[in-house]
Amino acid sequence: MTEKHPALDLLKPAEESESPRFQIEVRSSASTRERDLEELGNCLRASPPWIPAKFFYDARGSELFEAITELPEYYQTRTEELLLLGVADQVAARSEATELLELGSGAARKTRTLLDAMSRSGLLQRYVPIDVDPVVTRRVAAELLAEYPALEIHAIITDILAPLVALPQGHHRLVIFLGGTIGNLNDDACERFLDGIGEVINTGDHFLLGVDRIKSKARLEAAYNDSAGITADFNLNILEVVNAFAHGDFDQNGFEHVSIYNEAKHRIEMWLRARSPQRVALADLDLELSFETGDSILTEISTKYDKGLIQAKLDHAGFELEDWHTDEESLFGLALARRR
């Protein structure tokens, strides 16, 4: 096993003895909380105010996201899963990776497709899930340890948008970032993020990226305005996470879920719109906010891509696109890239 970075505040070291094949680093400390508070304060003071997407994912947010992936309107997960089933052996063979490192791993439902292919190739040794939610990450790690009896798991709970320092070393790595999550990053954040990945993977290592493709406004808006109202619950839950994090008093009932496709920016925008005038206090931010009816908070962008757009971004970050896979309806894309 690799050594941990000395600067990390490991909150639950005792649990590393759960299995000799499992360790988890919770990279949370007073300084990361200060940084997150400052970031949240800056975002809420901006015009329009916004909330970083990582605040969606407390235990309930992760559960709601899993429910979203099962919705009939939400084609993304099942389409990406089918694509992965078709290409996993090819990806495993091309990458020759012994380690699968997953960013924003969440429930890791589709990850098994790749773990299976890497097992079949006889190379798989270690899985490194990195996510902000410790609850879902621990649950999934326990499941995977049982399903893959020889697999080592080194989980890291951290913000994937902060520099990815002190990653475990010693393996030939395949980095994956699935679910179209890259679409949640604006242009600057996306560039910084891809540059950061370039720093943590070695020349010749591979990167597999799932992107949701540009398509009709009707299809996209249906996917983010499901008839069962789960996406609305997921969106509103972010206020509870912010309340818990910053001792705030947002009232969920005072806001409503809005999702629209911004065609000019080829992105879905999720907002929370005030149903009536709202006053909100966030004690830990020393911040009071007021909203008139109709004032809105931007909670998520989900940018949609085509092959050329994503290839340009990868190229800029020092990756060469090796393969581009898409489904018959061109709904979703999988880009396999190699560090130049």
Ligand X SMILES: C[S@@+](CC[C@H](N)C(=O)[O-])C[C@H]1O[C@@H](n2cnc3c(N)ncnc32)[C@H](O)[C@@H]1O
Q: Which residues bind ligand X (CB under 6 A)?
A: 53-54, 57, 62, 65, 69, 77, 104-106, 110, 131-133, 159-161, 178-179, 181
> Minimum distance from CB of 323 to ligand X (Å)?
19
Nearer to ligand X, 95 or 105 (CB): 105
Nearer to ligand X, 57 or 319 (CB): 57
> Minimum distance from CB of 257 to ligand X (Å)?
17
By beta carbon distance, the residue nearest ligand X is 179
Residues facing residue 278 across a β-bridge: 291
Nearer to ligand X, 274 or 325 (CB): 325
Nearer to ligand X, 116 or 159 (CB): 159
> Minimum distance from CB of 216 to ligand X (Å)?
21
Ramachandran class of 193: left when φ > 0, alpha when ψ lies in -120 to 50, beta otherwise: alpha
User: Residue 134: which H helix or E strand, with range?
Assistant: helix 134-147
Nearer to ligand X, 73 or 131 (CB): 131
Nearer to ligand X, 102 or 152 (CB): 102
> Minimum distance from CB of 340 to ligand X (Å)?
25
Q: Are 43 and 31 in contact (CB under 8 A)?
A: no
**Calpha distance 224→295 (Å, rounded):** 20
Nearest to 190 by CA among 57, 328, 303: 303
Between the alpha carbon of residue 222 and those of residues 206, 262, 272, 315, the distances in Å are: 34, 14, 17, 32
Ramachandran class of 106: left when φ > 0, alpha when ψ lies in -120 to 50, beta otherwise: left
DSSP state of 261: E
Nearer to ligand X, 77 or 231 (CB): 77
> Minimum distance from CB of 103 to ligand X (Å)?
7
**Calpha distance 179→76 (Å, rounded):** 7
Residue type, 310: I
Nearest to 117 by CA among 72, 71, 83, 165: 83
Helix (H, G, I), strand (E, B) or coil at 256: strand
> Minimum distance from CB of 60 to ligand X (Å)?
12
Nearer to ligand X, 86 or 277 (CB): 86
> Minimum distance from CB of 279 to ligand X (Å)?
29
Q: 115-131 burial, b if ≥16 CB within 10 A, otherwise e?
A: bbbbbebebbebbbbbb
> Minimum distance from CB of 227 to ligand X (Å)?
20
Nearest to 210 by CA among 304, 335, 77, 324: 335
